[in-house]
Amino acid sequence: MRLLGEVEEAIASQEDPIAKADAALLAVLRTFSSHRALARLFMVEALGAGREFHQRMLEIHDEFVGVIKRHLDEAIEQGVIEALDTETASRAWFGALNEVITNWVLSRQPGRLEDTYSALRPLLFRSVGVMDHSDKVLEKP
């Protein structure tokens, strides 16, 4: 899937686990922002699709959760964050992004999706114990 490839590419250019999370967050927001119709299909209209499509969507969700989990596990191994249930944290991060993007797609007058970065970043990072890592913030959208 193209989005997952873009996320992996953004992550690959970073060394620090927090910078990787930043890069991934920005890649997701920017990619969906530039493909609103596809985002609508992926996030909303897929709900009416058949059983096989729903199964594939669950697999795609699990792939994204797996990427998040892998990098949270790496952050724990490197001592950047304290040990935590990375499976649950990964699903919570995915759910937060899913909700924000779905709301943006359904909005009649959506703002710039990238503008949600400044609110999402601290919420997600604090959820895993990163209180202030602003020196590692990548370029803002």
**Three-state DSSP class for 85?**
coil
Task: With respect to residue 139, please indicate whether it lies within any of the assigned structural domains.
Answer: no
Domain that holds residue 107: 2-132
Q: What's residue 37's pLDDT?
A: 81
Q: In whole angstroms, how far apart are CA 69 and each of 73, 94, 95, 107, 139?
A: 6, 10, 13, 30, 24
Task: With respect to residue 138, please indicate whether it lies within any of the assigned structural domains.
Answer: no
| CA 21 – CA 35 distance, rounded (Å) | 21
Task: With respect to residue 137, please indicate whether it lies within any of the assigned structural domains.
Answer: no
Work out the number of other CB atoms within 10 angstroms of the CB of residue 5.
11
Task: With respect to residue 85, please indicate whether it lies within any of the assigned structural domains.
Answer: yes
Q: Which of 20, 140, 32, 16 is nearest to 80 (CA)?
A: 16
Q: In whole angstroms, how far apart are CA 31 and each of 28, 56, 69, 76, 80?
A: 5, 20, 21, 28, 27
Question: pTM to 2 decimals?
Answer: 0.83
Q: What's residue 137's pLDDT?
A: 41
Tokens read off for 38: 């596809």
pLDDT per residue of the chain (141 residues) written in tens, 0 to 9: 677 788 888 889 898 888 888 888 998 899 888 888 878 777 776 666 777 877 888 888 899 899 999 999 999 999 999 999 999 999 999 999 999 999 999 998 888 999 999 999 999 999 999 876 554 443 444
Q: What's residue 48's pLDDT?
A: 65
Task: With respect to residue 17, please indicate whether it lies within any of the assigned structural domains.
Answer: yes
Task: With respect to residue 141, please indicate whether it lies within any of the assigned structural domains.
Answer: no
Q: What's residue 60's pLDDT?
A: 84
Task: With respect to residue 140, please indicate whether it lies within any of the assigned structural domains.
Answer: no
Q: What's residue 1's pLDDT?
A: 61
